[in-house]
Structure 1
Amino acid sequence: MKKMLETQFPGIDVVLENYPPPMPKRLLAKVVPAVQFGVIGIIMAGEQIFPMMGIMTPPPWYYSLRANRFGSIASTWLLGNFLQSFLQSSGAFEVYCNDELVFSKLKEGRFPGEIELKELVFKKLSTSRLEDGL
């Protein structure tokens, strides 16, 4: 989209920015790595960790995780990274022209096509030029 807009409208300045997700999602995204490392630590050293916590016999789920150590660690890592990525993403795609909103994916519920976006920006630029000329 950036290249298309720069090609269609020479001299236009296209700025790409990340739209921050809501605060609860950002906080949860910070907790995910700690949980990941906690689960991996339990898988690797559960025999020492559970007695320190006062639990003499580890719970049954520990043995199922321990039975396939590599698969459990890989799954924890991949699922944790997926969850963290999901929590850090806002799903926003917005286009502004002269500080006015031209298109918002969150409001429309869809992603714009190239032709549609080109026409929206052209219309906004044309309107701006007419207002500047008055």
Structure 2
Amino acid sequence: MEVVGENYPPAPPKALLARILSIVKMALLVCLLFGQNPFTLLNIPTPAVYSWALQNKMYACLMIFFFSNSIESYLISTGAFEISINDVPLWSKLQTGRLPSANEFVQMLQTFATNSEFNNNFSKLKFIFLIYINELMMRFFMTMQV
């Protein structure tokens, strides 16, 4: 049995937009840090916001960095949480719209309890279950702090 964790790919237009935003962010940060004005190269009047950013580099760079990162995270977030054993899908948050409860998760594991490979690798599944419970607890505590 193999345990694999990976990110579910976002929709291609969102992924492209997030990548473009990342490149623009880096270019803007480099221009600000080195005091360059890209608008003069383009023969465009410098916006007042960019003039302010040149005068307040540290504050502007932090704002750009955190604001653009939140937008990038939103664009690439899929909300996917998929569980499968031996390529048999057991749960899909994309289809159900929610995470499985602990009881549902245990029932899914018990479904495969008759399989000999499952019994041989039950310790791995207990580990996966502990990771899942840990994830649920972390989400619970994160919502309590906000």
Contact 1:26 1:87 in 2 (8 A): yes
Provide the alpha-carbon RMSD of the alignment.
2.4
What is the CA deviation profile of residues 40-67 of structure 1, one whole-angstrom value per residue up to 9, with x for unaligned ones?
2443312xx3332223x42222223234
Partner of 2:98: 110
* TM-score after normalising by structure 1: 0.69
Residues 72-91 of structure 1: matches in 2 within 5 Å? 72-91=60-79
Q: Distance in 1 between matches of 2:6 and 2:59?
A: 37
Q: Tell me the percent identity.
A: 32
Structure 1: which 5+ runs fail to align? 1-11, 130-134
Shift of 1:71: 0.9
Aligned residues: 114
User: Within the alignment, does 1:36 sit opposite 2:21 as a pair?
Assistant: no
Residue equivalent to 1:8: none
User: Amino acid of the residue matched to residue 39 of structure 1?
Assistant: L
Does structure 1 residue 61 correspond to structure 2 residue 49?
yes
The equivalent residue for 2:36 is: 45
1:25 maps onto 2:14 in alignment: yes
In the TM superposition, what whole-angstrom CA distance separates every residue of 1:10-53 from its partner, at most 9, and x where no partner exists? xx54322221111112211221221102322443312xx33322
C-alpha contact 1:102 1:121 (8 A) present in aligned 2: no
CA distance in 2, matches of 1:16, 1:59: 45
Larger radius of gyration: 1
Q: Aligned pair in 2 of structure 1 residues 21, 127: CA closer, same or farther (>3 Å)?
A: farther
